[in-house]
Amino acid sequence: MPRRKGVSLFLIGVLVFAIVASGCISPGEESPTSTTPSTSPTTTPSPTETTPAEKVTLKVIGPWSGAELDAFMEVIKEFEAQHPNIKVEYKTYRAEDLSTILPLQFESGDTPADVIAMWGWFIAEMGQKGHLMKLNDVINPEEYVPGILDTVTVNGDIYGAPFTAAAKPGFWYRKSFFQKHGLKPPQTWDEFVALLDQIKQIEGIKAPIVSGDSVGWPLSDVTEHFILTFGGKELQLKLINGEVKWEDPEVKDIFEQRLVPLLEAGYFSDPIEWTSAVDLWWKGDYALYFMGTWITGMVEDPNDLGLISLPGVKAMVLAPDYFMVPKYTEHPKEALELAKFLATEGQRVHVGTKSGKLATWKKVSIDDYWEPMKDVAEVVANVESAPDLDDSVGGEWQKTFWDQLKLLWVQPDRLDEVLSTLDAKFPKGG
Amino acid sequence: MNRPKNLTPLLFLLPALILMVPFVIYPVFKTIYLSFFLDGKFVGLENYREVLLSPDIVNLDRFPTKSPPWGALIHNIVWIAIHLPSTVFLGLGMAILLRREEVKGSSIIKSIVFLGMVIPMIVGGLIIRFLFEEGAGVVPAVFKALGIERLAITWTAYPETALLSAILGSIWIWTGFSMLMYSAGLASIPKEYYEAALIDGANRFQLFRNVTWPLLKPITIVVVAMTLLWDLKIFDIVYVATGGGPGGASMVLALQMWDYFARALNYNYAAVVAVLLTVLTFIPALWLLRRRE
């Protein structure tokens, strides 16, 4: 009996442990920074690998669904029309989910797709580990908006093909709402604050600005807009590179003097699920909504949209989507062909749809854009573009940033604690 | 065919063991192994020191005098302290109330209560999120109707209420399990025991105390142990409802392990939390086994 008891105890114990631990087994390496020896080509393969008559099916993974997917599929249709020997199958995966799947698959020499849209920082990390094909032969850096390739370039090797970008240009409003209440876009900071106060007095308004909530990124977009307006692109870049602390007086001042007073005055709503927030804002519960340019494709009448950037804004975040080509693809030539198309002519197609995105390839002209986006494209073209702060830093810190901003939004008096946490969690040596 | 007696059970175990070695036993030991390494170097207990002393796990600067975050380990303990007795006694109470034949629609009510158990946890988390959202959820609406404006807020957005909202939501989800177990237990108690006690002059409370409760003890052990295990492993509800925020105010161990793994790509720290969770879950698992034997 004691032996049986021991065996059953051991087996059940092992099972319990396995249930808990099964999620955190490394793919056979002790260190996340270790690399797998390369066995596949990492540069453009010879074009003779497949015959022109051979029909190839490429798998593409991206985060889009619904209307965003419709817009992306227009690009794919065009690619297939230009490449009759290639068929493209698309699957939707969130980047958050991919971040857990891909490292394991890559370590085992496998990939779920031939071309994958992913975060820039993640692409750089996987590229550095030797899992991705280099794209230097298909991407010409001179043809792109300056700085757009920085996130996906490691030691001169380009691992990400830039696609179109969302800009985070400012606070959107309904022109009809402003007309109805006699409101005017502000030209100075004081006018901006006065406008918020004026909106707050309107009957039926819950708060002047609705705060979108998701995992946290809508709040980080607002915060970055304040940093870019009052600190400029230089400060944003220094924060990304860890050259300036969050508790630095220059940074703290932006929070203390600009953002926190607005939060304390109740000009921002509590964070609300961001797609629900679109509906609430559109129906008039709120007057302003800080969101990326993709909002143009999410509202009933994009011609009713107006945009208010913070007066004196010096730069705007341009957040591109990037595609990577894992070196484990079975069709490297075709995958690179698709990556190249997405980074070039595919952008022209995409900005012509209701995607609400902007081209990062400089050969796309304003005339190529969907009508409601032409004005936005011109506004963005007239200011400096800056990389998305949290997307550039990435990793655990990105989630911390989002999470701490959620805290700040409801308890602005905890600013010191928030800034201190952001410094403490910032990647070492970053 | 004279096979040694002690070989027979091993032969029966062999098919399971063949599967368990690569899929369970190897990962278990690999996880333990990983927890002692960092960047490919053996660091002894350094990872454990770093993780356990991190305010992410235990934050004594804020606990217990200030509002959360108190650290994932403390949040799990708070979760157990509220969730365990609530689900046990709610489940027991509902099972007793709905046992009576005169309760019309008891099976429908039981089905509704049990609904929380059958829906995917991710959906449960989403429901919790909207249940506690100002403008959409019933909870803030009730407090608003009662004139308690302080609680007529989006509970998941505030550090004081985020953890509590997830715990309260999980009580709704898990009470169905407890109720179902107790219902089965109550059905197995012979009526004669109650009749004998009634003849002896026992009142309702005495019936419960001296007949029902002792005979439900094996069920209670299972419910308590399973609830403890569930509370320690809690992940999906928090992931969806609050994401562990704001400011880490509702972070739990399993989600912290996930963050180390998926966000920080630090498999070694994730392994440390996995080992810690396993040690913690071993305690109720072993207790359950011993009590059942």
For residues B169-179, average pLDDT? 93
SS (H, E, C) chain A: CHHHHHHHHHHHHHHHHHHHHHHHCCCCCCCCCCCCCCCCCCCCCCCCCCCCCCCEEEEEEECCCHHHHHHHHHHHHHHHHHCCCEEEEEEECCHHHHHHHHHHHHHCCCCCCCEEEECHHHHHHHHHCCCECCCCCCCCHHHECCCCCHHHEECCEECCEEEEEEEECEEEEEHHHHHHCCCCCCCCHHHHHHHHHHHHCCCCCCEEEEEEECCCHHHHHHHHHHHHHHCHHHHHHHHHHCCCCCCCHHHHHHHHHHHHHHHHCCCEEEEEEHHHHHHHHHCCCEEEEEECHHHHHCCCCHHHEEEECCCCCCEEEEEEEEEECECCCCCHHHHHHHHHHHHCHHHHHHHCCCCCCECCECCCCHHHCCHHHHHHHHHHHCCEEECCHHHHHCHHHHHHHHHHHHHHHHCHHHHHHHHHHHHHHCCCCC
Integer Cα distance of A5 and B244 in angstroms:
39
pLDDT at A97: 84
> Residue B41, SS3?
strand
Q: Which of B165, B278, B290 to mutate to test the interface with A (most CBs of A within 10 A)?
A: B278
CB environment A203-216: b (16+ within 10 A), e (fewer): eeebbbbbbbbebb
* Spatial CA neighbour of A325 closest among A139, A159, A105: A159
Q: How far is A22 from chain B (nearest CA, A)?
A: 7
pLDDT at B3: 60
In sequence order, which residues have a C-beta less than 8 Å from that of residue B288 and are 6 or more positions away?
B221, B222, B225, B226
pLDDT at A104: 86
Q: Indicate if the pLDDT at residue A25 is higher than 50.
A: no
- Fold for the domain defined by A170-291+394-425: D-Maltodextrin-Binding Protein; domain 2 (3.40.190)
Q: For helices A217-230 and A232-241, give the axis angle rounded to 10 degrees.
A: 130
Gyration radius (Cα) of chain A, Å: 24
CA distances from A129 to A31, A103, A154, A255, B162 (A): 11, 10, 11, 37, 38
- Within 10 Å of residue A28's Cβ, how many Cβ atoms? 11
Domains A56-166+319-386 and A170-291+394-425 agree in fold: yes
Does B23 reach chain A within 8 Å, measured CB to CB? Answer: yes
CB-closest option in B20, B133, B244 to A14: B20
* Spatial CA neighbour of A290 closest among A196, A400, A370: A196
**pLDDT tens per residue, range B192-230:** 999 999 999 999 899 999 999 999 999 999 999 999 999
CA A236 to chain centre: 16
Of A136-145, A208-217, A277-286, B216-225, the least confident: A208-217
- The average confidence (pLDDT) of chain B is 90
- Within 10 Å of residue A100's Cβ, how many Cβ atoms? 14
For residues A230-239, average pLDDT? 94
DSSP assigned state of B69: P
Q: Which of B263, B268, B279, B292 to mutate to test the interface with A (most CBs of A within 10 A)?
A: B263
Joined together, the tokens standing for residue B268 give 């070694």
Joined together, the tokens standing for residue B16 give 């399971």
> Residue B38, SS3?
strand
pLDDT at A30: 37
Integer Cα distance of A133 and A158 in angstroms:
9
DSSP assigned state of B65: T
Integer Cα distance of A68 and A326 in angstroms:
24
pLDDT at A311: 93
Q: What ipTM goes with this model?
A: 0.81
Of A69-78, A80-89, A95-104, A162-171, the least confident: A95-104
Domain interval for residue B172: 24-292
pLDDT at B265: 83
**In degrees rounded to 5, what are phi and psi of residue A22?**
-60, -25
Which residue from B minimizes the CA distance to A404?
A: B247
CB-closest option in B20, B247, B277 to A403: B247
Dihedral of alpha carbons B194, B197, B198, B203, sign:
negative
pLDDT at A33: 35
pLDDT at A6: 53
Q: For helices A395-410 and A415-425, give the axis angle rounded to 10 degrees.
A: 180
Integer Cα distance of A302 and B111 in angstroms:
46
Q: Indicate if the pLDDT at residue A384 is higher than 80.
A: yes
Joined together, the tokens standing for residue A20 give 């808990």
Integer Cα distance of B10 and A155 in angstroms:
56
Q: Indicate if the pLDDT at residue A141 is higher than 90.
A: yes
For residues A191-206, average pLDDT? 96
Alpha-carbon torsion, ordered B63, B66, B71, B72, to 10 deg: 100
- The strands making up A286-291's β-sheet, listed across from edge to edge, are A268-273, A207-213, A286-291, A170-174, A305-308
For residues A366-395, average pLDDT? 86
Dihedral of alpha carbons A194, A195, A198, A203, sign:
negative
CB-closest option in B6, B266, B273 to A32: B266
pLDDT at B1: 52
pLDDT at A308: 92
- Fold for the domain defined by A56-166+319-386: D-Maltodextrin-Binding Protein; domain 2 (3.40.190)
Q: Which residue bears the tokens 């619904």?
A: A66
Q: Which of A17, A269, A393 to mutate to test the interface with B (most CBs of B within 10 A)?
A: A17
Would you list the DSSP string of B126-173? HHHHHHTSTTT-HHHHHHHHTT-GGGSS-GGGSTTTHHHHHHHHHHHH
Q: Indicate if the pLDDT at residue B100 is higher than 50.
A: yes
Stronger pLDDT, B135 or B52, i.e. the higher one: B52
CATH number of the CATH domain containing B170: 1.10.3720.10
Chain A and chain B share a number of CB contacts under 8 A equal to 158
Q: Residues B71, B76, B79, CA angle at the centre, nearest 5°?
A: 125
Q: Indicate if the pLDDT at residue B115 is higher than 90.
A: no
CB-closest option in A15, A23, A33 to B258: A23
In this prediction, residue A20 has a pLDDT band, given cuts at 50, 70 and 90, of very low
* Spatial CA neighbour of A177 closest among A298, A289, A291, A310: A289
* Spatial CA neighbour of A285 closest among A190, A174, A427, A417: A174
DSSP assigned state of B42: E
Does B288 reach chain A within 8 Å, measured CB to CB? Answer: no
Q: Indicate if the pLDDT at residue B112 is higher than 50.
A: yes
* Spatial CA neighbour of A402 closest among B160, B248, B238: B248
In sequence order, which residues have a C-beta less than 8 Å from that of residue B98 and are 6 or more positions away?
B106, B109, B110, B179, B183
Q: Indicate if the pLDDT at residue A39 is higher than 70.
A: no
pLDDT at A67: 83
- The average confidence (pLDDT) of chain A is 86
**pLDDT tens per residue, range A284-339:** 999 999 999 888 888 999 889 999 999 988 888 988 999 999 999 999 999 999 99
Stronger pLDDT, B124 or B6, i.e. the higher one: B124
- Within 10 Å of residue A73's Cβ, how many Cβ atoms? 15
**In degrees rounded to 5, what are phi and psi of residue A385?**
-95, 145
pLDDT at A293: 87
Where are chain A's structural domains?
A: 56-166+319-386, 170-291+394-425
CB B238 within 8 A of CB B128: no
Joined together, the tokens standing for residue A148 give 């757009």
Of A210-219, A222-231, A398-407, B35-44, the least confident: A210-219
Q: Indicate if the pLDDT at residue A47 is higher than 80.
A: no
pLDDT at A58: 97
pLDDT at A327: 96
For residues A128-136, average pLDDT? 96
Joined together, the tokens standing for residue A276 give 């629900």
* Spatial CA neighbour of B17 closest among A366, A182, A321, A10: A10
**pLDDT tens per residue, range B247-292:** 999 999 999 999 998 888 889 999 999 999 999 988 888 887 777 6
Q: Indicate if the pLDDT at residue A214 is higher than 90.
A: no
**pLDDT tens per residue, range B23-67:** 999 999 999 999 999 988 999 999 999 999 999 999 999 898 898
In this prediction, residue A22 has a pLDDT band, given cuts at 50, 70 and 90, of very low
Which residue from A minimizes the CA distance to B126?
A: A273
Q: Indicate if the pLDDT at residue A110 is higher than 80.
A: yes
Is B6 inside any structural domain?
no
A8 with B289: Cβ contact below 8 A: yes
Is B16 inside any structural domain?
no
Is B281 inside any structural domain?
yes
Tally of domains in chain B: 1
pTM, two decimals, is: 0.79
